Amino acid sequence: MEYFVQLFMGGLTRGSIYALIALGYTMVYGIIELINFAHGEIYMIGAFTALIIASVLTLHGFNEIAIFVLASLAAVIYSSAYGFTIEKIAYKPLRHAPRLSPLISAIGMSIFLQNYVLLAQTSDFLPFPGLIPEFGFMKKYEHISSSAELMIFLTTAVVMVILTCVIKFTKIGKAMRATAQDRKMAMLVGVDINRIISITFIIGSALAAVGGVLIASHIGQINFYIGFIVGIKAFTAAVLGGIGSIPGAVLGGFILGWTESFATGYVSSDYEDVFAFALLVLILIFRPAGLLGKSGSQKV
């Protein structure tokens, strides 16, 4: 039972990260129907930014919590700037091109960013400081979970509540939903579509950066390639839950996290991906639009 809880918590942690990143995929898809393959790289850049800032702050003798907060903040800002710029450079000029063009552009952007970080940093794994502070009260539960896992889940939960409120209650959130449902009509009521698209990229990138900082300080090492693998997994989570659906991305993230965690724990870590993708195939066979996705009918 203890082992089960341990795996459950591990899955919750992975799931939180997948969910944070999957939200970026799904929100962008919801607005411009593009799979932003460079999104995983945003997450990686967030982790690198946090590493650099944390190193500098450590040298200057800042305390643990200040480092965690400031490094995360810097990662969020830097990644958002990247997300914003990528859209302007790689996708906006292709807005009216055939749908394959921005997709290829996205893959190109992803490869470009990986290699850029590879050249600017290194191909080796870099140790990442454990930024997440240890909580005293977690000592008792050491055998089943850790402060870092708890922190990751709590941060994710808070971020999602905030995101839900923004989308549900603010004017910008309403405009985002309207744009996702009927872009031309949104333009006709005066929504500046370019602004909404930019905001979507910024929010998605900020979420990915949060995920990047959290998981990197949990695992303890990063390199230029981490964004690719996690990106593919988070994309899987988004598709699993129904691409374009925000609750779907969260649900998909957690399902994928648990599947991997239990597969690793009860079978073998070698089979983690086999189970994850077998699940994806199964779900898509029975629910082609994903768990919470809209069924295939196109609006006219």
* Residues in contact with other proteins by the rule CB under 8 A: 171, 174-175, 177-178, 181-182, 184-192, 299-300
Q: Angle CA(273)–CA(9)–CA(286) in degrees, nearest 5?
A: 45
Q: Report the residue number, 63 or 298, with the smaller CB distance to other proteins.
A: 298
In this complex, which beta carbon is closest to other proteins, that of residue 111 or of residue 167?
Answer: 167
CB of 193 to other proteins, least distance (A): 8
Kindly report each contact of residues 105-109 with a partner whose C-beta sits within 8 Å and lies 24 or more positions away, as own/partner.
106/34, 106/35, 106/36, 106/37, 106/38, 107/37, 109/37, 109/38, 109/41
Q: Whose Cβ is closer to other proteins: residue 185's or residue 282's?
A: 185
Distance CA 246, CA 238 (A): 9
Indicate the burial class of 19 (C-beta count within 10 angstroms; 0-12, 13-18, 19 or more): buried
CB of 194 to other proteins, least distance (A): 8
Q: How far apart are CA 98 and CA 109, in angstroms?
A: 18
Task: Give the shortest CB-97-to-other proteins separation in angstroms.
Answer: 13
Nearer residue to other proteins within complex by CB, 53 or 196: 196
Going by the DSSP 8-state scheme, the letter that residue 141 receives in this structure is G
* Chain centre to alpha carbon of residue 292: 18
CB of 184 to other proteins, least distance (A): 6
Shortest reach from residue 186's CB to other proteins, in Å? 8
Task: Name the residue nearer to other proteins (CB basis): 189 or 285.
Answer: 189
